Amino acid sequence: MTNIPPKIIQHLRTDEKLRVLTETIHLQIDYSQKPVFDQLIKSVVSQQLSTSAAATIYNRFASLLDRQLPSEQAILMLDIDKMRSAGLSAQKAAYIRNIAEYFSEKKLSTIDWNNFTDDEIIRMLTAIKGVGTWTVQMLLMFTLHREDVFPADDLVIRKSIIQLYGLTSEKKQLTEDLHLVADAWRPYRSIACRYLWAGKDQINSKL
């Protein structure tokens, strides 16, 4: 069973290629609310690390703050060397500090993210050094539960669409073709991408 609303499943099944995934994969989406600031910190910590390694370092970092969830003020009280003692690289420590400074300056922890569009949030958060578009797209999809995000630069998504839809184009034309395929999934591109991630092994085996 899946907890995805039937109207979304019905819409995605109008795409014959995607229909197979929706019929064989039973997605369960975690719709719980999580603090944007904390999730952004976690995304930086997890870059280029395994899930278990990222969790270990994040927990060490959180213990330095003597709190379950990090806050801008608590992070800004730590120096870079102290942050690195948790296992963070100097670059990641600097990025996390950048995030804390930005959130503190803009008072972002008190805003209602529902008042902003996806594009507005991407522009807002990619202004932070160390935070890229893909990172914000993941935040939109998995933290803010936005249903129509398409991370075209995600390697698994690109490879899955290329294989599933038999795309042979390259460079700029490939990007256009990827978006053209995903346009059929609107306004639920986020959900379609979840199926592609979950079904990557099926797709690799040519279903």
Tell me whether residue 30 is one of the annotated catalytic residues: no
Token digits of residue 176:
């256009």
- Residue 31 has, within 13 A of its CA and on its CB side, a CA count of 9
Calpha distance 43→50 (Å, rounded) = 12
CB atoms within 10 A of CB 70: 23
DSSP-assigned letters across all residues of 92-161:
HHHHHHHHHHHHHHHTGGGS-GGGS-HHHHHHHHTTSTT--HHHHHHHHHHTS--S----TT-HHHHHHH
CB 131 within 8 A of CB 141: no
Residue 198, phi-psi category: left (phi > 0), alpha (psi -120 to 50), beta (remainder) = alpha
Catalytic residue, chosen from 154, 177, 183, 201, is 154
Rounded (10°) angle between helices 133-142 and 189-198: 100
Residues assigned a catalytic role: 154
